[in-house]
Amino acid sequence: MRELNAILTIAYRDFTKFLRDKPRIVISFIFPFIFIGVLGASLDANLSREVGYSFLVFTFSGVLAQTLFQSTASGIISLIEDRENDFSQEIFVSPISRYSIVLGKILGESLVAFAQVVGVFVFGFVIGIPLSLTQILTFLPIGLIVCLFGGAFGIMILGNLSNQRSANQLFPFIIFPQFFLSGVFSPISNLPWYLFLLSRISPMTYAVDMVRGFYYLGTPEYSKVVLMSPFWNLAVIGILFLIFLIVGTFMFVRNERNK
Amino acid sequence: MTPIIQVQNLVKKYKKATSNAVDGISFSVNTGKFFSLLGPNGAGKTTTISILTTTLSKTSGTMEIAGFNVDKNPSEVRRSVGIIFQNPSLDLNLTAEENIRLHTILYGMYSFRPTFSLMPQEYKKRVFELSEVLGIKEDVFKPIKTFSGGMKRKLEIIRSLMHRPKVLFLDEPTIGLDPVSRKNLWEYLTSIRKSEKITIFLTTHYLEEAQDADHICIIKNGKIVSQGTPQKITSDLIDEYVVIDSPKKEQLRKELTQQKVLFKENGGFKITVKAKDVWKMIRSIDTPLSLVRTHTPTLEEAYLEIVERNETTNA
């Protein structure tokens, strides 16, 4: 019970911070608009007829997953910022499990990511993306899983970093290629073997494909768009989540205490 | 009385360091006492506090706080201590009360509530009580971005006392505060020490703050170079003396020599004598005096003596 309260309060702090950070809110809404509105719409106008499905919808579903995954992962990196502001001392001397700290942080950043995704949905409605109630309701638990996964991925990266500067330099390098390897904007059903390999070791691939798997479930485009069964994706994500979380937390705590 | 803090042969060697930051120190602090760890920058004070409060790993040694082994029961130790860190560790995006609330929930005192009004009466009462004593009652719901350094310190003290710790660690708590804020803070700390019967563990560079300590430990290069009560440390090291002078220097010199009083001349006559015996000595002198200046040594002088003495032996 105590640990649960700790997780909730750490998560709440994160979400409060987001709500009070106006520039961050604005920026977090702008990116999906660019990705879907500009990139998605232009690809749609030029390529959709060739491939036989709407690129706008394709990009929309990809950006949903990517926003959740990336936002949570990069949010976790703010644990480093806390360390540099000396706030982490306060959390680290408190009598709670180190896993609660990390889980609270992941949960908080998941909430932040969901808030951003609301914007993506609104934009989707405006440009006429077909969205049924079932699709939206299925998205809630699936989206949460993507967030938790992104968070665990973030802690894994964080466990290997020592300061904000290296985080800022390294993070885009790790995230950016995954945009393309995981097929957020571009189809990856046909890839040369080396890209295929890279695509399958990019964690974001499974998140994007799972979200699409559930979104396109029962539609004629399913077989053209979705690569792997959503349940296979779910299993891979579950296993990677546990590995990332345990190894990442262990390394992060070790870095904090062993200097 | 049983010691509430016990440290034996504590050693810390940082990664990639060539020498030990803390090099085999041992001390103990009794319950309810005011203990002060002094030493120059880089002596190992913050390292010692970090290890005692479980945020840094040790290299070797054993430590116990409030009956709990620091390595085996870190959670119990964390629950028993409050800490004011050298660098303020507040979340600047939150209000003062939100910082306090976060703390109490992390310490398992209350269940999570998203607003102040939903918190239990007991919590509200204690927040108001403590913030009133510290004089920041009006600011408790304001974002702390607007707080001065002194107010932030006070807020951290309120926060650290919320879970009623048995030991309060203060790592240079008044650094960067103006004299008035420092004075206020100390008045408050002295009063809570009495009302909460709390043990205080202080590191500081302002030696007058350590003057009231029950026990002092001076460390240098990770080793203890002196310990005891402030009175003992000062009297062991620095002589109490009186300086006298007279317009008739010749006559005074003769008289002192006759009375077999040892003196040193440097401008006046410097005579080593305990403060309580000064009057006796003055009465025995017939030569008219133009100057009588007694000197009572301060902790600061003793400290400088110890630290500088070690400087020369190290060199």
Contact A95/B at CB under 8 A: yes
Of B81-85, B127-131, B251-255, give the lowest mean pLDDT range.
Answer: B127-131
State residue B1's pLDDT score: 65
Pairing of strands B34-38, B215-220: parallel
User: The tokens of A181 are what?
Assistant: 């390897």
3-state DSSP assignment of residue B84: strand
In this predicted model, what pLDDT tens digit does every residue of A94-133 receive, in sequence order? 888 888 988 999 999 999 999 888 888 888 888 888 888 8
Give φ, ψ of B268 to 5 degrees: -100, -165
Shortest CA distance from A21: residue in chain B: B93
State residue A221's pLDDT score: 85
Give the relative orientation of helices B96-106 and A2-19 as an angle to the nearest 10 degrees. Answer: 160
Evaluated on CA atoms B79, B83, B87, B93, the torsion sign reads positive
State residue B118's pLDDT score: 92
Distance from CA of A135 to the nearest CA of B (A): 31
Shortest CA distance from A84: residue in chain B: B89
- Are B36 and B213 in contact by the 8 Å Cβ rule? The answer is yes
State residue B311's pLDDT score: 61
Ranges under pLDDT 70 in chain A: 162
Of B231, B249, B307, B244, the C-alpha closest to B278 is B244
Burial A7-45 (b: 16+ CB within 10 A, else e): bbbbbbbbbbbbeeeeeebeebbebbbebbbebbeebbe
State residue A190's pLDDT score: 85
Mean pLDDT, rounded, for B202-227: 89
State residue A233's pLDDT score: 93
In this predicted model, what pLDDT tens digit does every residue of B38-70 receive, in sequence order? 998 888 999 999 999 998 899 999 999 999 999
Higher pLDDT, B237 or A41: A41
With a cut of 70, say whether residue B313 has pLDDT above it: no
State residue B100's pLDDT score: 93
d(CA A215, CA A225): 10
**What is this structure's pTM?**
0.80
Contact B79/A at CB under 8 A: yes
With a cut of 50, say whether residue B315 has pLDDT above it: no
Mean pLDDT, rounded, for B125-132: 85
State residue A205's pLDDT score: 93
Query: Using the beta-carbon criterion (under 8 Å), do A259 and B55 form an inter-chain contact?
Result: no
Of B165-174, B206-215, B289-298, give the lowest mean pLDDT range.
Answer: B289-298
- Are A101 and A76 in contact by the 8 Å Cβ rule? The answer is no
- Residue B166: band (very low, low, confident or very high) from pLDDT cuts 50, 70, 90: very high
**Cβ pairs bridging A and B (under 8 Å):** 86
Q: Please state, in angstroms and as integers, the Cα–Cα distance from residue B136 to each residue in A21, B96, B99, following that order.
A: 26, 10, 14
